[in-house]
Amino acid sequence: MTAYEDPPLAQRQVALIDLLDRLLSGGAVLTGDIVLSIADIDLVRISLRAVIVAVHEQQWELTLDEPR
C-alpha cells in the first residue's frame, strides 16, 4: 500500500473542462422523448437523438498521379 492514494470518486473535485474533455474523447449519446398531451391525446411529440464526439483535425494531402 502506498502513502498517497487517490480519494474516492465521490469526494474528488473535477474541473468542468476536464469533465468535458473526458466526455468528448470517448463520446456520448443523448436520447430523450417529450410528449405534450391533453386528456390522454398526444398533441406534440419531440424525439431527441444526438451523438457528441470530439472532431480531430486531420491533415489531408492531395496527390495527383501524373500520366507517364
For 9-57, write each residue's pLDDT tens digit. Answer: 667 777 888 877 887 777 788 899 999 999 989 999 999 998 887 776 5
HEC profile of the chain:
CCCCCCCCHHHCCCCHHHHHHHHHHHCEEEEEEEEEEECCEEEEEEEEEEEECCCCCCCCCCCCCCCC
Report the alpha-carbon distance of residue 18 to residue 59 in Å, rounded: 26
Q: How confident is the model at residue 59 (pLDDT cuts 50, 70, 90)?
A: low
Domain positions in the chain are 28-52
Query: What are phi and psi for residue 59, nearest 5 degrees?
Result: -90, 120
pLDDT of residue 45: 93
* pTM, to two decimals: 0.39
